[in-house]
Each structure stands twice: as structure tokens, then as C-alpha cells.
Amino acid sequence: MKHKLTELLQHAVNTLKSTGVIDSSLQPQIIIERSRDDKHGDYASNLALALAKSAKMPPRQLAEQLVAALPSDSAVIKVELAGPGFINFFIDALAQHQVIPRILTEQAHYGLSQVGAGQRVQVEFVSANPTGPLHVGHGRGAAYGSALANLLAAAGYTVHREYYVNDAGRQMDILATSVWLRYLAALGEVFTFPSNGYKGDYVVDIANELLAQAGRDFYQSIATVMADIPADEPDGGDKEEHIDALIAKAKNLLGQGYEYVFAAGLTSILADIKDDLHEFGVDYEEWFSERSLMDDGAVAEALSRLRSAGHLYDKDGAVWFASSSLGDEKDRVVLRENGQYTYFASDIAYHMNKLDRGFDHLINIWGADHHGYIPRVKAALKALGADETKLTVLLVQFATLYRGEEKVQMSTRSGEFVTLRQLRDEVGKDAARFYYVMRRSEQHMDFDLALATSKTNENPVFYVQYAYARVCSVLRQLAEKGWTRDAALGLEHLARLTETHELQLIQTLARYPEVIERAAAQFEPHQVIQYLRELATEFHTYYNAHQFLVDDDALRNARLNLIAAVQQVLGNGLALLSVSTPEVM
RNA sequence: GCGCUUGUAGCUCAACCGGAUAGAGCACCAGCCUUCUAAGCUGGGGGUCGCAGGUUCGAGUCCUGCCAAGCGCGCCA
């Protein structure tokens, strides 16, 4: 309908151009909006207001000319001028009713759009270091990222969901060393665990598993291990130096075995993350390993490309990327004095790899604490000769976790955190996802666990699911009363749907495809939730105001078609969010 | 100090790339179950859109300056 009205207005504009009322060089953008107030009809355009200045004509007068030049259309029953120069369109009710057969025919396809057809977009999200289980801080990125990916797919894009596994670097060495030390403890060695090691119970579990599989193969006496290791922080030393020395010692003593211990930690945690996300309704097309970039020379290749393009220089024994000339605050080290690549170096290679795979658009979903990282990655893309506008970085603010009044502190290292798994156990997948996606991702948000657990009945997700379940219930009641739904009869009598609630509901149903397109274009899945809550509200109101299972066959079936359409759209929307649709509540 | 993000009802949040009277939920008050599920519905109170300027027919939305909160400013990831 929006498109049709746009065409009609475009036609009017062309007419005014040809009659010389307005300058023929003007190319106004025609915007059609849903009217917020019924008194303003169904759709409105501010075209006359926007065009008034360049057309050198008062807005109202221009609006009159436009309306006069507007071609007639059977669906448009009235066009009004209002306010300072708005053009309001009133749409024929019966034309609007046609959305019902459309929904019933298209079913799960209703609302899908083709705006992204033929375009491949990669969405990278979560990408948490595999050094421990996911915690609630990752939950928001997971829920948002997967909802966004689904939304883009609904808008016609070919979506590639990807998790970048940071399986290289010092944090992973700390993990491997932590596992090894717990393994030695399991073998009876007694010592103080490093203050900078990973202290979570899961490390103990992995160590025990390692012991069960490999026996004493990796045993070393603690005296050997601790020989010449500088003191830890509690003993007056430096915790970083302490752990680094332990890592070096582990590599040295274990030799080939270090890889085995390392892999034991990595595979176990990665499997846990994979399972956790799957249970949370998040699945990926690809899990991309950072180490693979090191191993196949992609990092070296990326740096050599930067070098030959003149973006690298040597200073203080390290290799620097001159990112400050490309919009970054300062230059960045890519190859350290000690000969190791920085994380940034592999990230350059990773993004080069993404581009080489031919995606039309790259979307990175990062925690807001990484925002300072954006300019350097964009700089890298520019330096590689790529179009940096292909990359969109979307930031997800952290959810501050509360238990009642008390703020829950979290630290992966100390092992004190609420895991995503715990959250799922406490509040359930549906409620957690809904809650996370409900708010704009850039919005700071408070997540009160006490509230989410103790007052689950008040969670808005149930409100929407309940509307769905109610339709199911009505359809069950129908059968119990010995009736069957006659969709064809109902469609013949759609004109019987004349109640205010019904007209309102039909309008809202018709809006769904616009919501999808808009939410996808703006990367804002919360708009879908907003919409679903509105649709559910209108359904509940209707439910309370009118009886569906009436004796009048025509009216009953017309109403059943309407609520079946509501059910379909609720189901489509919830599916996008990976929230379940219970038939009974 | 510099940068990014945010600031809307008591609380948590919306507000269609600037539009007509800024909306929901929670909480609070008053009503609605011999009729399809009351996890629901109806009505009510509650707002200097952080503050001050500016841009224009029109600003919660754009610009500037302040104030406040979160985050960032490593040869960590």
C-alpha cells in the first residue's frame, strides 16, 4: 500500500512538473508514513511540506495542487489536507481486509522481503575467548546477533553467521597452564594456584578429564615446576611475570605435550560454548579459528600487503601500522619486539579473509568496551584498498546485572560470574532472549535476576506467547463444539469484520512486512518485539470485547480467519527471535 | 585530559533516516470471571524529553556548549 501511494504521489509530482507548477528539476523524496492518529486517515505524506521551499509555494497551496493532480485509485476512498500541509490518505476497509487471505496463503512467508536479495552478508557475533563458559554478558550479544541475523535473512539477504574463535594468544596459554596446574594438583601436588590463573571449577573438571584420558603422561613434580619462578603477587611479586614464567615452564617441560594440554582445554570449552549457544537458539554457519590464520600464513600475507602498500614501518624493534594517517588516534604495533603478532595483526588478516570471501557486507557485533578498536580496523580495511563502508560494527552495551538492589560483580578470571547456562536455567531461554532483544542494543540496560526469576509472570514474553496460545485454545474449543473452521466461507464474508477492534487488528497485521523491512534496515530487532507486543495487546483487547465462536456461520468463520492470521503473524515474529510458540499455557 | 555510547513518567524502556496531542510495561488506585484460558481486559493519576543556546514552517530527534553515567585511550585480547 505504501508503494502504491508513493507511485500515486510520484505521478502527481510529474503532472505538476509538466504543467510547470513546479520546477522540473526537482527530485523530491516521497515519504509515506502510517498515520499515528485515526483522524489523520491511514497514511500520510509530508511531501508538500518538504517541497514547499524549493517549489517556492506555501505548503497548503502546494498540497492542494498535488491532491488535484493525484490519479484516482479504487483502494483510496478519501484524500484530505490537514495541518500545515499534510496529505492524508483514507484506505477502503475491504481493500485492507485482503491482508487476511494473503497471510493465510503465504503463512510462514508472510512478511518476508526481497530488499536484500542477491546480497551476501556476514554477521560475526559473540566470538568470546574460549577460556571459560559464556556468561550473561555474552548473552545479550548472542541474542541480539542471532535475532539480527534472522531478521536480515527475512529481509532477503543471504546470511553467514560466524563465530571468531580467539584460540591464539596469551590468554589461551594462561588457560592451558591453569589446566595443567589443576592436573598436577589432582595428582596430589600441593601448591598455591597462581593469582592470575583461571580459577573456575570448569578448569578442575577439564584437568580431571585430562587425567582420566592421559594418565600421568604430563606429570612433573611441583618442585621442578616452581623452580626459578618469580614470586606471585600475594608474595610480593608481579602476577603477570609469575604466570608468564609458568607458561614458559609448561611449554618447556611438556614439549609436544603442551599442545595436547592446550587442546584439551580448548576443545572442552569450545564444545561447551557451542552446546550452550545451541540451547540458547544460536547456531552458526562457521566457527573460524584465529590460529588457522597464523598457521596458513594469512597474517604474514596481510602484513606483507600492508608493507608493500607503504603502511608499515619499524620502530623500537617492533613493526607498526601507520593507522593514524587513516583516521585512527595513533599508530598500532602489529609485530611485537618479541617476534609475536599482536591480536590486531590477526584481526587485520581476518578481515582481509572476510573480504576475500566476497561478502557484500560485513557486520561485527562487539561489546561496547571494544568501541575504541573500530577506527583501527577501518584503517586496516582502507590500507588494504577495501571499501571500509562494507564493514558495520554494531556495539552492544553490557547489561549490568543485579540481584535485587545488589550489583553482581563478574570476572572470568576469578571464576565469579553468572553463566549464560545459569541464566537459562533460572529464567528460561524464551524469557532471556526476549528480555535481551527487547531493548535497543546501544542502550545500557539493567538486568535484575531477582525480578526476572521471581516475577516471571510479568515478563512480556508470556504476554505475547499467551496471545498465541489463546488462538490455539479457541481453535480447540471450536472442535469441542463440533464445528470445523471453514476458511473459504470466512473469506467470503470478511466484510462482516466491521468492529473497531477488528479494523485495528487488520491494520496492524498489514504493517508487519514494513516492520520487518525497517527493523532489518536499521539493524534493530527490538522493533519486532515492540510490534509483537502491540499486536498481542490488540488481540487480547479484541478477545475480551468479542466472542469468536458465535452461532452465525459467516461471522464466526470470518473472525476465525482473522485470529488465525494473528496467530500466524505472532508465530512468524517469534520465530525470528527464536522464541517458542506454546499452544497451551 | 581526549574519544565513543547513553540521558524521556517513581522504576525498566519505546517513539517510523525532523512531523500533527511524546507512548507501553512494572508499581499505585478503582472496576471486570454462570460466556472461547483473568499469564487477560476497562478506567485513573503520573512528563520543564539532563541543562542552555542555535538551525526551520516544525526539534525528544539535527548542530554547538555545559552537566551526569558507562566504557575506552597497552608491544593485552
Residues A82 and A221 in one domain: no
- What's residue A267's pLDDT? 96
Cα(A507)–Cα(A384) distance, rounded to whole angstroms? Answer: 49
**What are the phi and psi torsion angles at A456 (to 5°)?**
-60, -30
- For residue A435, the enclosing domain spans 166-281+398-453
Asked casually if ipTM beats, i.e. exceeds, 0.90, the reply is: yes
State whether A333 and A240 are in the same domain: no
Q: Is residue A552 part of a domain?
A: yes
End-to-end CA distance of chain A: 36
| Domain annotation covers residue A582 | no
Q: Which three cell numbers stand for residue A137?
A: 554478558
Determine the pLDDT at residue A2.
80
Nearest protein residue to nucleotide B4 (CA to C1' distance) is A371
- Reference A135, options A270, A264, A276, A275; nearest CA is A276
User: Is there a domain that residue A537 lies in?
Assistant: yes
What string of pLDDT tens digits covers the 585 residues of chain A?
788 888 898 898 888 888 888 888 777 778 888 888 878 888 999 888 888 877 888 888 888 988 998 998 888 999 998 888 899 999 998 889 999 999 999 999 999 999 999 999 999 999 999 999 998 888 999 999 999 999 999 999 999 999 999 999 889 999 999 999 999 999 999 999 998 899 889 999 999 999 999 999 999 999 999 999 999 988 888 888 999 999 999 999 999 999 999 999 999 999 999 999 999 999 999 999 999 999 999 999 999 999 999 999 999 999 999 999 998 989 999 999 999 999 999 999 999 999 999 999 999 999 888 999 999 999 999 999 998 889 999 999 877 777 666 666 665 555 557 788 988 888 889 988 998 999 888 887 777 766 666 556 667 899 999 999 999 999 999 999 999 999 999 999 999 999 999 999 999 999 999 999 999 999 999 999 999 999 999 999 999 999 999 999 999 999 999 999 999 999 999 999 999 999 998
Instruction: Say what angle helices A526-545 and A460-480 make with each other, to 10 degrees.
Output: 40
Question: A482 and A355 in one domain?
Answer: no
In a domain, A581, yes or no: no
Question: At A163, is the secondary structure helix, strand, or coil?
Answer: strand
pLDDT (0 to 100) of residue A270:
96
A574-CA/B19-C1' distance, Å: 32
pTM assigned to the model: 0.93
Closest alpha carbon to C1' of B25, residue = A460
Angle at A382 between CA A380 and CA A385, to 5 degrees: 110
Strand pairing report for A32-34 and A312-315: unpaired
- The CA–C1' separation of A456 and B24, in angstroms, is 18
Residue A456: its pLDDT value, please? 64
Residue A54: which CATH number? 3.30.1360.70
Q: What is the DSSP letter of A35?
A: -
DSSP state of A127: -
Checking each nucleotide's C1' against the CA of A37, the nearest proves to be: B20
From the CA of A547, how many Å to the C1' of B30?
26
- Count how many domains chain A has: 4
Q: Can you tell me the distance from the alpha carbon of A265 to that of A173, in angstroms, rounded to the nearest whole number? A: 10
Q: Are A310 and A325 in contact (CB under 8 A)?
A: no
DSSP state letters, A465-524: HHHHHHHHHHHHHHHHTT----HHHHHHTGGG--SHHHHHHHHHHHHHHHHHHHHHHTT-
Same-domain status, A161 and A175: no
**What residue type is assigned to position A389 of the chain?**
T
What distance in Å separates the CA atoms of residue A192 and residue A382, rounded to the nearest whole number?
Answer: 49
Q: Mark whether A180 and A235 lie in a shared domain.
A: yes
- Find the Å distance, CA of residue A547 to C1' of nucleotide B35: 8
- Which residue(s) pair with A373 in the sheet? none
Phi, psi of A107 (to 5 degrees): 50, -120
Q: Are residues A71 and A104 in the same domain?
A: no
Q: Is residue A581 helix, strand or coil?
A: coil
Last residue of one domain, picked from the residues A350, A372, A396: A396
Do A410 and A427 have their domain in common?
yes
- Do A176 and A272 lie in one domain? The reply is yes
Strands (E), A324-360: 332-335
Q: What's the CA–C1' distance between A33 and B17, in Å?
A: 13
What CATH number is attached to the domain comprising A514? 1.10.730.10
Residues A347 and A391 in one domain: yes
- Domain's final residue, options A377, A396, A415: A396
To 5 degrees, how large is the angle CA A546–CA A551–CA A554? 85
Strand B: list positions under 7 Å from protein Cβ: 3-7, 12-17, 19-21, 24-27, 35-42, 56-58, 70-77
Strands A120-124 and A158-165: parallel
In a domain, A496, yes or no: yes
* Residue A375 domain flag: yes
Query: Which nucleotide is nearest to A371 if distance is taken from CA to C1'?
Result: B4
- Same domain for A290 and A311, yes or no, is yes
The tally of CA atoms less than 13 A away on the side-chain side of residue A152 is 21
Q: Which nucleotide is nearest to A336 (CA to C1')?
A: B75
Residue whose CA lies closest to nucleotide B38 C1': A544
Nearest 10 degrees: CA dihedral of A384, A351, A244, A273?
180
Instruction: Give the residue whose CA sits closest to B71 at C1'.
Output: A369
Distance between the alpha carbon (CA) of A366 and the C1' atom of B71, Å: 12
Q: Do the domain assignments include residue A584?
A: no
Q: Which nucleotide is nearest to A334 (CA to C1')?
A: B75
Left if phi > 0, otherwise alpha if psi is -120 to 50, otherwise beta: which for A39?
Answer: alpha
CATH number, domain containing residue A355: 3.40.50.620
Say which nucleotide is closest to residue A547, CA to C1' distance: B36
**What grid cell was written down for A129?**
575467548
Q: Identify which of A345, A362, A359, A364 has the alpha carbon closest to the alpha carbon of residue A301.
A: A345
Smallest Cα–Cα separation from A159: which of A436, A429, A365?
Answer: A365
A443 CA → B13 C1’, Å: 9
Q: Residue A120 in 3-state DSSP?
A: strand
Do A155 and A223 share a domain, yes or no? no
Q: Final residue of a domain: which of A383, A418, A453?
A: A453
CA–CA distance, A21 with A501 (Å, rounded to integer): 43
| Distance between CA atoms of residues A281 and A504, nearest Å | 33
**Gap from A49 CA to B65 C1', Å:** 31
Burial A401-413 (b: 16+ CB within 10 A, else e): bbeeeeeeebebb
Q: Round and report the angstrom distance from CA (A89) to C1' (B14).
A: 26
Same domain, A464 and A559: yes
Nearest nucleotide (C1') to alpha carbon of A88: B20
What percent of the residues of chain A are helix, what percent strand, and what percent coil, each to the nearest 5?
55, 15, 30
Residue nearest to nucleotide B22 (CA to C1'): A36
Nucleotide nearest to A442 (CA to C1'): B5
CA distances (Å), origin A383, targets A47, A327, A360, A379, A407: 42, 11, 18, 6, 43
